[in-house]
Structure 1
Amino acid sequence: MFVLFCLFVCASAGRFENVGEVMTGQPHEVPTNSTKVLAAARFAVVEFNRANTEDVFVYEIVNITSAKIQVVAGINYILEVRLGHTVCKESNKADSKPCDFQSKELQCNFIVTEVPWEDSRVLTQKKCHPHND
């Protein structure tokens, strides 16, 4: 009888252990306006513009449509970001004035991997396609 009781308790505990918890490795939604999400998104766009050498005009964030984090050997920021093509050139961007947008927009999926204890941040994935309303 005691053995059956132990089996029942163990089986019941297994059903409730993950309620309200985030499992390591499992992505979960976070607010798109959180400070860390905004920093990761800005970093992704800077890296995207740096790699986009054939275009003299830079892209800027229109909005962040989705944000998730995933705790692995660091933190993955999994972002869906809509970018607007601006009339500012990279060389003119340093003056921090707002740039007007052109009509061209991209929908991008970025993954930024951050390892805080190593002071490391890398854009590990970027996939963009034209945004259609």
Structure 2
Amino acid sequence: MSNTNNRSESQGSQRSSQIPQSSRKTQSPQKSHDSQQSQQSQESRRPRPMEVLREARAQLAELTGMTAETVSSFERTEEGWSLEVEVLELERVPDTMSLMGSYQVELDSEGQLTGYRRVRRYERGRADSRGGR
């Protein structure tokens, strides 16, 4: 029986000596987990390019009341994003005579529209005169 008591005591001392090790083990993964969560939250705040495109079109359409049809250029800038969006300004029949507008759209790093301006206006059926220069 004294053997059994010794085993219990030695197991108890092994358990107590293991506690600091196991708590150290849980602290390391916890710190790692916290840094992963921090990175994920930073990434979750930064929208993906396709989300930026969709959101920019939706915001521009809401502000102007016109249909944003396509995005003809898209780039990341120091301040956020810069896009050129083609908008249907005046629908005509036949469709090739509809008036289109090309808008420069600026967004912040979170994908929120900060400004826009029309850079040109053209008929849908016309070739781009800028391409010949």
**Normalised by the size of structure 2, how large is the TM-score?**
0.40
Instruction: Look at both structures and tell me which one has the larger radius of gyration over its CA atoms.
Output: 2
TM-score by length of 1: 0.40
* Structure possessing the higher relative contact order (Cα contacts under 8 Å, 6 or more residues apart): 1
Q: Which has the higher helix share?
A: 2
Larger strand percent: 1
